[in-house]
Each structure stands twice: as C-alpha cells, then as structure tokens.
Structure 1
Amino acid sequence: MTAASEGTTPRSYVVTGAGSGIGAATAALLRSRGHRVIGIDLRGSDIDADLSTGEGRRSVADAVRGAVGDTVDAVIAVAGVALPTSLTVRVNYFGAIATLEELLPLLRNSPAPRAVVVASFSALQQNDAELVDLLRAGDEDAAVARADELVGENQGDLIYPSTKRAIAEWVRERAVTPEWAASGIPLNAVGPGIILTPMTEPLLATAEGRDALMQVVPMPLAGPARPEAIAEVLAWLSDAPNAHITGQVVFIDGGADAVIRGPRVFD
C-alpha cells in the first residue's frame, strides 16, 4: 500500500549510500510507501557522486535540484565506509556534513523538513581523541593526516569509531542552532549495532565468530539486525509526524548501549 493510497502526502527524500545496505533498504522502504526518493552513491544510483571529494560534494545540490526542483522534504545521510584508512574520514564525516549543509537551503523550502544521519554504536567505543578534535574543528587536511598517522601506527581501527563519535557530536551540537532548530528542521542520528551484511554474515555463521562479535557489541534483544530494521527508524525520524525529536542519537543496537553503559547515564 502506498502513501498516496493511504491518503498521506508523498514526500521527496534524498538518501545517500542508496546503492547497498541500509541506504538501499531505506530507499526501497520509502518508495514502497509512495514517496519520491533520489538516491546518491558512487555509481548505479539516481545521482552518482563521490562524497570523499570536494567536487563530488559540491555537485550534489545542483544534481538534486535538477531532479526535484528547489524543495526537498528530507535528507537521510547513510553513505559511509568502515575502512581503516583516511577515506573513512573523508566520507563518514566531511561527506555527511557537506551533504546536509549543501541541501539545507532545499530543506528550508519544505513545510515539514527533516534530516537524519547514520552514526554507529561504535561512537561509544574507543576512539582517537586527537582525530575527533580535528574532525570537530572542521580541519579536513589535518584530520586526514592524523588518520594516516594512525594507520602508520597500526591503529587504523580507531578511525571508524572516531568518525562516528564526531558526527554524533556534530548532530547534537548543530540540531539546536538557529540554522536547524529555528528553521523547524529536526536533525537526528541513529546508531546501529551489528547489521547483517555480506561482510558480517560469514563472521556470524560460526558460534566462535558470533561470540566474538557479541563480546564487542552485546545485543541481547534479537541479536544482529537486518538493514530493513534500521530503515524503519530512519523513515520515522524523517517523516512529518516527527516534529519535536531533535539532537538525538537513537541506538538501534539490541540493548548494547544499555549493557555497556548501564542505567546511570544521566548523572
């Protein structure tokens, strides 16, 4: 049943990382509800763009305008990589922020604009404080250099959680500023735990592999999630009824956050 057949107004969405995983599941879900979705990915989507480069980021707004005009109802920034290299810095942090900022003028033309970013449960895990600070300062060259240093020090595994911590903090900081809150735009993030993907499924196929992953990200409720489960939350956060939730990181982690951090997070 489509959104139109249910009597609701179809909305226009931009979804980055729409070629696979959570992005593809989100685009498919929104389209199944009758919405217009402009997918962005490196290749094979509605708009091909490399969000690791300044040129690719700058091309997004014009390409979206060419597809849907001057109004976008929601932006869902999913695109990301989990490589232990500086590419992760360019895509996960600077690519995501550029997408949101470039499309902000189009969001402001919507009667019910919404924006959501995919962070990660790893935002709560060990990171490199220096890299996080450089990301928050917006110094891409220095952040890339620091990531390259981490690789050289055999600490490349800290790059991904550092980018996800920084983007989660960016969302919380920016969500309550005039450019977002005063414009009536809820800005939120989701923090998935382990997702069933072609990369993780071989690890989960054995008891040993599953136990090892569960030690890092314990998920007592239902275990690892399929991309479609994340898509459902992204769809709700970016829909018109969400008019007051902003600046939040919603962990879709089967309880991992509660297991690791416990109940006393409000002290």
Structure 2
Amino acid sequence: MTASEKFTLGLRSFATVITKGVFEITHSSFALIGLAVIFGIITLTARPELRQLGEVKLFSWLQTRQIVETGFESQLDAIDRATASNPQDLPKQQAAVAFWLSKKYRVAPEPLSALVAEAYKISQHSNLDPTLILAVMAVESGFNPFAQSPVGAQGLMQVMTHVHKDKYENFGGQFAAFDPLTNLRVGVKVLQECIQRAGSMEGGLRYYVGAANIEDDGGYAGKVMAEHTRLQMVAKGRTVPIFRPQVAPAPAPRAAENETVAAVFNS
C-alpha cells in the first residue's frame, strides 16, 4: 500500500469516526430533550400551580413581544365589544334596510346591521314597527351614537339621559347612554311610553321630541313619519330613491324639552 493510499484510508476512517460521534451526540441530545419534555409534562400535570405560573409568564412574554413589535398591546376580545355584524347574515328584508340606510347616511353597513337586527328584535315585544324605531334614530342622530343636543339629549335615540337616568340603572349607569344598543333599548322604552300617553303615533312623537305643549314641533313628526314610510317600502323590496341630507341631521327642536319631558314622566 502506497503512502497516498494509506493517507486516504486514514482520512476516511477519521471521517467515519467523526460522523458516528456527531450522530451519537445528536441522538443523545434529542433523547435528553425528549426526556426533559416528558418529565416537564409530568411535573406540570402533577403541579397545576406550576403550569398556571408558566402560562402567566408565557402570556406576559408574548404580550411584551407584541408591544415591542406593533407598538400596542394585543386585545383579542376587542371584537366582542364591537357593535357590528355581517349584513349578509341578516334576513333579506333587514339586509335591504341596512344597506339602504348605510348608503343614505354614509354609515358602515356592519354597525347598521347590528342596529337593524336589534330594532327588529325589540319590535316583537314593544309593539312598535322596527322601521319607525329606525326612522327615529335617523332623524334624531343620523346614526351617530355619540350625538348630543344643546339641552343634553344623547346617543342614537337622543334620550334625555338625566331625565331617564332610572332607565339606565339596569345597564350600569348613565354612561351606558353611549352604548348604541343600550341607548336604542332605552329610547324605544321612552318612545313607547310617549305613544301610549298621547294615544297616537304622531302625538307620541311630539311628546318624544318635547313639543307636546307647543304648537310647532319643527316638522319633527312629519320627518320621522316620512322616513318611516320610506323604510317600510325598502323593507318590502321596493326601489326607493336616496336623497341624502345636505348636512348631518340637526338635533330636533327641544327648546322646552327639559320641562316637558320631565313633567310627562315624573307626573
């Protein structure tokens, strides 16, 4: 055997030994990792408090990483606080109303869909047409849940919060006036009481706007009834032209509302 062949054979033997060593070390490492994982699982199963502590630490670390990478904390439950739904999930009649209102008042169809669905749900036990409820919202606030009139009427239905604060007690207090669905429910209750007291829809609307004791309601009842009629036609599948308001709906005339509404509901 020549010197060159001996060198080549020795090099091959060295490579074989190195390869076997690396395999055995790697294999042993994987085995050790596997054993560590198994013992870790057994420990965490036997010691729930350690598992809980580990989960808290891991969640805290993930939050920290999220803040570092995005600049704000991840809140996956935010979707649960959103007043919105997919208009495609609504019945055909309700979806038509939601899309029509969305186009006219330039409001996203998703939150409008949630309001339309709630109006139809409430109508079942309030004896009020859902399109009337939606018409009141349209005229009162243009579907702005944070609207406020000069005399303190607030939210979608422009409820006088300080007059009807008792109605918000079941919803956690007066700040619930700015929760769209709560304001809708309280507003419907007030409207229902107004109509019952007046004995007619038009008269109830005058009470609602605080114009029961004055001659001119500023055309409020007429505006609501006209929008109510349009929405009824939309709900029936009719094609109804959209005439957008030139400006955002102004608060209904409530000059005497403080005194009128308080007198109506506190008497």
TM-score with structure 1 setting the length: 0.25
Choose between structure 1 and 2: higher helix proportion.
2
- The structure showing larger relative contact order (alpha-carbon pairs under 8 Å, at least 6 residues apart) is 1
Choose between structure 1 and 2: higher strand proportion.
1
TM-score with structure 2 setting the length: 0.25
Structure number with bigger Rg: 2
